[in-house]
Amino acid sequence: MVLSLVADLRAVFSAATALALAASGSGGMPASTATSTSTASTSTGRPTAGAVVHGQATHYGPASTGGNCSFPTVPRDKFTVAAGPDLYARGAGCGGHLTVTAGARTIRVKIDNLCPECKPGHLDLTDEAFAALAPLGKGLIPITYRPVTDPKITGGLAFVVKTGSSRYWLGLLVDNAGNRLRTVEVKAGSGFQALTRTDYGYWLAPSGAGAGPFTVRITDFAGHRAVATGVRLTPNAVQRTSVRLYR
């Protein structure tokens, strides 16, 4: 049963509070530069002032890859959440983090899935995340949650080129960013070409971006920007980098 969350997405994710949020395979890639305007994060990140939401949480099953955001991995603790349409925001919520509190317990979860039938104010957690707050048998619990900026993450940005990509059509996924992403761009000539966000986590260049390797520029909703080079036109491989949007 997939219920979900959120009050007014515009209030939580608006530009005025942009500082609020934001398959297997391997292979390192050379990373060029990473720039950031952030300060040091705490263990969970910087909560957004005034963004606390009161609601309820349920759980829907064990954490796994293949959620609606298409992320190729899950966090080590498997604390993720399926978001309702308001918070999921046609894919804009993918990769955002929330702190969730029930009683004296607080955890951090990553948005990696969509719960189409979820109503505002409900979170639908993975079993692992729910069990960290209450026994699974409870099924439904009262919670508060709030978006987090600059959550502490391990490692740098990871990229996945979508199946079917070629020099004439490109689908690109960005994972392990920490915050929600505002833009993803690929260098074309002397400038950058903006990719189009989908509702399933990938960013598209309908006319392609050439044969690669690609230089990719990423900007998140907190205003951090980073550039990674050497992203290969190799579909389905998880290409990991040392580039980070913030420290």
Q: For 7-19, how does the pLDDT look when each residue is reduced to its tens digit (9 = 90+)?
A: 333 333 333 333 3
Question: Is the model's pTM score more than 0.75?
Answer: yes
The stretch 80-87 carries a mean pLDDT of 94
The stretch 63-77 carries a mean pLDDT of 94
- Classify strands 202-205 and 46-47 as parallel, antiparallel or unpaired: unpaired
Where do the DSSP E strands lie in the chain? Answer: 33-35, 46-47, 53-59, 80-83, 97-102, 105-114, 122-125, 141-149, 158-161, 170-175, 181-188, 191-194, 196-197, 202-205, 214-220, 225-231, 238-240
**Contact partners, residue 190, CB within 8 Å, separation at least 6:** none
User: pLDDT of 99-133, one tens digit each?
Assistant: 999 999 999 999 999 999 999 889 999 999 999 99
CA distance 51 to 145: 8
213 prior amide bond cis, ω within 30: yes
Token pair recorded at residue 166: 């070629």
Class of domain 9-17+44-149: mainly beta
Radius of gyration of the chain (CA): 17
Q: Label residue 96 by pLDDT band (50, 70, 90).
A: very high
Q: What is the pLDDT of residue 7?
A: 35
Q: What is the pLDDT of residue 189?
A: 85
Cα–Cα distances (Å) from 52 to 47, 80, 125, 134, 143, in that order, read 9, 18, 18, 20, 10
The length of the chain is 247
The stretch 126-143 carries a mean pLDDT of 97
Residue corresponding to tokens 């833009």: 183
Does 207 score more than 80 pLDDT? yes
Would residue 25 be called left, alpha or beta, if left means φ above 0 and alpha means ψ between -120 and 50 degrees?
A: left
Q: Which residue has the higher pLDDT, 80 or 50?
A: 80
CA distance 59 to 23: 25
Does 3 score more than 50 pLDDT? no
User: pLDDT of 151-174, one tens digit each?
Assistant: 999 999 999 999 999 999 999 999
CA distance 18 to 222: 6
CB atoms within 10 A of CB 138: 14
Q: Which helix (H) or strand (E) holds 131?
A: helix 127-131
Q: Which residue has the higher pLDDT, 136 or 188?
A: 136
Q: Label residue 48 by pLDDT band (50, 70, 90).
A: low
Percent of the chain topping pLDDT 90: 76
Q: Label residue 223 by pLDDT band (50, 70, 90).
A: very high
Q: Which helix (H) or strand (E) holds 12?
A: helix 9-13
Q: What is the pLDDT of residue 8?
A: 37
Q: What is the pLDDT of residue 66?
A: 84
Q: What is the pLDDT of residue 49?
A: 45
Does 25 score more than 70 pLDDT? no
Q: What is the pLDDT of residue 46?
A: 63
DSSP class of residue 89? G
Q: What is the pLDDT of residue 44?
A: 54
Q: What is the pLDDT of residue 47?
A: 54
C-alpha closest to that of 215 among 76, 28, 33: 33
Confirm if 196 and 217 have CB atoms less than 8 A apart: no
Residue corresponding to tokens 């609020």: 20
Q: What mean pLDDT, rounded, does the chain reach?
A: 84
